[in-house]
Amino acid sequence: MDNKKAKLRRRRHRRARSTVSPGADLGHLRDLVGYAIRRAQIVVFRHFRKSFAAHKIRPIQYGVLTVVGANPGLKQSEVCTALGIKRANFVGILNELERRRLIERRSAKDQRVNALYLTRAGKSLIERLRQINKAHEREVAAGLTSNERVRLIKMLNRISKATYADL
């Protein structure tokens, strides 16, 4: 049913095409910070996953290993706050890292708390991951000058800092 259009088509390509996505006019989407962030995030995370595939490390795992490495003895809840993870969701992430002998839970003075430490293997791995990450970062930011890269991060952090408490 509905065989009377298909002549209404034929009108496309009127505006300049997006530099990000070919095939159709994105309208004002290409002028939005949020849309630019979303597209960049997809590309960067895809690149990250491929870069770390050999070590089976996802971005969140790299974050946890990095933060615990920089803060030995950190509590689970503190890692969650630092990285913006819900503590309920952190349990599974941590279970896998512990199963792989990269992180240890140790009970603390406060028996409710688990203090987290990288194992020897975890410390060794994070050093290698750090090198991979340097290459990853270089490639992701290949289109930016060093100054631009720093300014980009600062601008993004200014956006992140805002709390929008009223909404």
Residues 102-141 that bind a second copy (CB under 8 A): 106-109, 115, 117, 130, 133, 136-137, 139-141
Look up residue 72 and give its amino acid.
Answer: P
| Using rule CB under 7 A, residue 94 touches DNA | yes
Minimum CB separation from DNA for residue 148, in Å? 26
- Sites for DNA among residues 32-51 (CB under 7 A): 42, 46
Per this entry, what is the length of the chain?
167
- Sequence-distant (≥ 6) Cβ neighbours of residue 16 within 8 angstroms: none
* The two structure tokens encoding residue 144: 């930016």
Could you tell which of a second copy, DNA, none binds residue 146, using a CB distance below 5 to 8 A set by kind? none
* The two structure tokens encoding residue 109: 């003075």
Cα–Cα dist 123/116, whole Å = 13
Could you tell which of DNA, a second copy, none binds residue 124, using a CB distance below 5 to 8 A set by kind? none
| Using rule CB under 7 A, residue 111 touches DNA | yes
Phi, psi of 85, deg, nearest 5: -105, 140
Handedness of CA 150, 47, 68, 75 (dihedral sign): positive
Binding mask 7-46 for a second copy (x = CB under 8 A): -xxxxx--x--xxxxxxxxxxxxxxxxxxxxxxxxxxxxx
Cα–Cα dist 79/105, whole Å = 13
Among residues 65, 85, 97, 125, the one that binds DNA under rule CB under 7 A? 85
Chain contacts with DNA (rule: CB under 7 A): 42, 46, 58-60, 75-77, 80, 85-91, 94-95, 105, 109-114
